[in-house]
Every structure is written in structure tokens, then in C-alpha cells.
Structure 1
Amino acid sequence: MLDIAEELSRWAGQGRDFAVATVVAVDGSAPRQPGAALAVDRDGTVIGSVSGGCVEGAVYELCERALDGGPAVRERFGYGDDDAFAVGLTCGGAIDVLVAPVRAGDPARAVLATALAAAARGEAAAVARVADGPAELLGHPLLVRPDGSYEGGLGGHPELDRTAAAESRAMLDAGRTGTLTIGAEGARCGRPLTLFVESSVPPPRMIVFGAVDFAAALVRAGKFLGYHVTVCDARPVFTTRARFPEADELVVDWPHRYLATTDVDARTALCVLTHDPKFDVPLLERALRLPVAYVGAMGSRRTHLERNERLREVGVTDEELAGLHSPIGLDLGARSPEETALSIAAEIVAALRGGSGVPLKGAHIPIHHEAGPPPTRVVTSMA
């Protein structure tokens, strides 16, 4: 649901009634992951997607029923061998979809409107909703903030809300979306509840060091992937809005000095394109010791080997250098800045998602990898 927060927040602000269908579980191969959502308003306007087209028609009908006074429901859609073209996922998997109405006068509407507005502004927040449990509790929302405060409720049991808020906050801290089960103690009728928790966190950062032509292309690729992109270079003549119109932020400073003062986290990608020892050695000395997701450094194989020696001379250990791979990016035969940016971006995605980077054709590997915690660091160097 939070993946279409901007549009839904606008609908809520306009006073529209709507129904939201959210993927809460995936079994096997499926085109969309948990959190993907589709919404329908009373005029029949549709935004979002839960399956890439496979089951949208059936989900649309469920949303219409919810808007006509129906309760929240959970439905499973999957592949059927008897009729591959009937309602189902012909990709072979199954998805569970939670469909819930958001109507005027519903107490949950105010909670969801607050959550949607926060997500649309890029603020950190989590929404926990009952995805499996007593029918009367399905879809009940709890909004949880980073400081642990919360509003809404899962059915009028304070202890249940406190437990759900604490568990949801832990998922928010990790930037995770998924399910959790609240034990029978405190749950209605002694039955455990399965909650679907969606975390909205600010966009991950991509910091591109070096205001070069390759950087301009990489900025565009980073924005396409949803990163908040910063370009940093010590040379003001090159670090201009005219050269990088799509960058979120331009910083004129020595790269290592800027990295020492800016905030990074386990989702941050650092792309070092300076290709100059006076910039990239002190920068990589610091970058290799940070708990970030990705560090890439541009340079020829000879430059790469010389840089390794310089880094050892300033105290970087072989263990810290062990993750330094060459070349940066996937082997696409890239030549132009745009092709090179695509190569780098593809490697970042593969690193974060656990992909191998090999062609799917002829490879006996899953198309969709299970989401897991991001790696502490992937360090690469370009030939």
C-alpha cells in the first residue's frame, strides 16, 4: 500500500472513498512482492498493481465489493494446471491479497491517512494490519513511528497493540516489509494474529564522487532506481546544476571530508568515479570501513592494483581489501557513459537482491530471490 502512498494520500485528502488490495504473502514465483498494492475509488479509477496484469480483474471486483459495504477479505490467487488462462498466476506462483475498504466515517481511515501522508513525504513510518485472524479484525491498522509511539489499534486490546508496535518498530528500524505473528496470549479468542507490516523509509542514498561524464549518466540511473542521489566533487567548475540537473544534491568539497560528515547507512551506495589517487585513496580508506551496502571505484586494472598498494600503505588491511572486485559493474560490453551506468546500476541491484548477474536464459536459478538483510558491504573496482 505504501508503494502508492503519494496517490492514495491525495485521494484521502480529497475525501474519496477507496479500497486497497495489498499483496501480503507470496508463494513461489510471482511478478510482485509483498507490499505491492492496487487501489480503486468509487469512480472506478485504478492505480497500482498486484500482479502485473494476471489477476487484476478479479482483484478489481473484490475492491468494488468492499466499496459497496463488504468487509475486508484475504484471497489467494495461484496457477491452475487445468486452465492456465483462468484467473491465476500463469508464472507458477501464488499471492495472498488483503482487500480492505477505506470509507468515510471508518475509524481506520484517519490512521491510514496519517500513514499515507507520512510515506508520501518520505518520512519513516510503519503500518501494521491484521492479515490473518478473526474476520472482524482483518485490515485493522496500527501506525508506528520511529520513536515507538503509535496510533490506531488492532481490535481494542491494549497489550496486543503494545506488542505489535514494538515488533513493528523493529521491522521499521531494519527497513523491512513482511509478516509477523503475535502469540495467543492477549490475542482475541486465544488465536494468534498474523500482521502484515509495511515500512516506509526515506529513499536510500547514492553518493557519486567525481563530477565526470560517467557520473551524469549514473545519476540518471540512480534516480530511476529510486535513490536520493548526491554528486560530490572538490572542483566547483564541474559540480554544477547545468551538468547534473537530475541530482538531488550537489556538494563541492573534498570527497573524503564530505564522507566523514554525511549520514550513511546499510542501504547507501558509494560510487567513486574520481579516478585520481589524491581523491580516491583517502576516500576509499574511509569508505571501506563504513557499514554501507555498496562501494564501487572506477579505474583500469593497473590503476586498481596501484590503488590497492596505496591503500595498504595508509593502513587498509587485506581483509578490508578482500571485497574489492574488479571490474565494477556487470559484463555488458559497455562503452558509453550510459551503458557503463547501466552496468554499475545492474551490479548494485544484483548485490542488494542476491542475484548472480548471469543471464536467466539456460540458468537453473530462481528469477525472484528471497528478500533478506542487505549485505554489509560490496566493494568493486572498474577495469
Structure 2
Amino acid sequence: MGHPDDPAIAAAQAAGSGLVDLHSHWFSPRAVERLGARAVPPRFVADPSGTIRLHRAGPGTAHGHADAFALGPQWFDIDARLDHLDANGIQHQLLSWPTTLGIDAALPAADTLPLWRDYNDELAALARRHPARFSGVATLSTSDIGWSVRELERAHGELGLLGGVLPVNGFASLAGAERFRPVFEAAQRHRSHIYLHTGYANPAVPGQPPLHLHGDSAAIRGLLDTAWSFAAATITLAFSDFLRPYPDVTVQIAMLGGSSVIAAVAEQVALNADRYGIDDVRARFRQLWFDTGAAGRGGQAIALAANVLGADRIVFGTDYAPAPSVRPVIDEIERAPLSAAERALILKENGRALLAAHGKALA
């Protein structure tokens, strides 16, 4: 099924529920071509059935060894994606590179910069073809910060993208965040949206968490490790003065920012304000938004974050592409113990307001 490029028609088609999904991923044709041409991981490999598999390597993979997983058509097929969004009432998606893959951490800048530039070009072209349906944030390098500054400038000046995406583990400590200060200086000039998504930065970025904290119950420990990584970055940004010089930069943190962990920390700080010298905990989160993607989609976790941090800090995100359907996240939010007003904020209004703040007003 084809989809017209006219923004008014596209908006009318999407009128359904008007949901705004700020956590979704896509692989561009040139990214597939470049990673398919590699002889060693990370790379794409097509199996005899035609299924493309991603072979990963480096930080974030099992014990540092290569692994592989099949990529469904939702990663590539825009018409199929639009049909799925229409069927589920999603008006608009913010697209980004999945930093989970650890490519920037595993490869030198000479190998990654052409990939990121091509991807950003194609992402911008997609957003121009379907302006009512898609926005994008540019992929930035964690190994060449000067290039990232220039690319963020290009993203705003030439490409029409809203900001950039970086791996969250680069912000697990203030020392790590300081490496990205030039990027945030450029982001302030352009009133950027910076998205912190799962993954490791280049090993030169200090203060990142260990690859594996424990050897037992690996899958369950992984949930805790992921939550810790996001909560650590949230603490860096909320409870230091790092963001103070950048009041016009918005920061989105995936997976509810470590939801239960950061909510528990924030609640304890609020209960012991004298000890921590912080009177208004919620004020610390006014530049931060937390999305409901993947590890943050549980209804109880969403309600907890809304109660402690405020429903106005939470945006709807599905992690679509790795997740083959947006429906489970929608269902969890619908079932969550939230008021109707809180649910509307999370599913629609916060995302619309955030996009509008960056010049993307939805019909």
C-alpha cells in the first residue's frame, strides 16, 4: 500500500488516535549496504532465506563475542511501517539509530563516520518525504567529538533534523558527560533535542559501567544492569550542574531512565531534603524527558515514574523495529494505574509539546 507525500493527507490518515511515538528505529539503505560489505562483525549477513542478520561485536554483546539476530521487515519497509502505525493510531514517530548495537564503541572513527553521515542524509530524506509522519535525530560519534559538533550543526542547518542521539553509558558519570560538552554547546546554539539511548560510547569516554557486573542469572542481572546504566546517567544530568549552561536543550532518556531505580532515588532525596540540600526534586528533572520504550514499558513502572517525577516528564515510546509491534506498549499504558489526564499526557500531549518546542508542530 502506498502513502501520499502530501502532509495534510498523511495527517488525515493518521488522525485515528494521534499518538506520538518518540522511541523508534530504522535502518537506511546505505547503512545496510555499508554493514553488509564488512567481512567481520559488526556486519549484516543475508542467510539463504533472504533474512538479514546483524552480527554484533564489542561492548554490549555476550561476553564480548559476536552474536547475531534476525532483522524483521519493520526495520526497512517504510510502507509496512506506515500501515502498522495507521492500524494502531500512531500519528508521528521520532526515528533514530539504535545505539544498542555498539558500533561506535567497537569501530574506529574512520569506519563509523561515513556510515553515520550516510545514515543522517537518508534519515533526513525520509523525514522530508513524510513530514507529517516522521522526524529524526542525527547519529553522532563518540570517538570524534569535533566531527559530532560539525554534524550536529549540519543536522540543523542542512538536514532539518531535530538534534542527535548518543549512547547513555557515556553519561554514567560526570567525567564521561564532560567529553560531550562541545556537543551540548552546539546543541544550545540550535535548541537541540538530545536523545540518550541504550549502549556504550567509545572506550575513551571515562566512567562507563562494566560490561557485566555479575556472572550469575545473566538475563535477569541484565535488567538490573540496564536500569543502573540509565539511572546513573539520569543522576549525572539531574543532580549535577552539567545542563545549567544549556537551558534550551531538551534531553530524552530511554527506558524511563531506569524507572524504578531513579524513582526510588528521587523519592529518597525528596524525603531527606535537608541531608541532600535539594528542596525541589522535580525541578531537577525539568530538562529531562523519559520514554516508555522496551525496559520502561511496564505499567507499574510508568505509574511510579509519573507519581515521583511527574507525568509531564514521560513520553510515549515503543522501541519499534526491535519490537515488531507497537501494540504491547500502548496496552501497558492503557492498563497502567494512571488518571485519564496522565495517560493523555504520556501518549500524546507531552510528545506533541516536545516536538513543537523544536519547530515540529503536528496537525
Q: TM-score, normalised by structure 2?
A: 0.32
Bigger helix share: 2
Q: Which has the higher contact order (CA 8 A, sep 6+)?
A: 2
The structure with more radius of gyration: 1
Bigger strand share: 1
Q: TM-score, normalised by structure 1?
A: 0.30
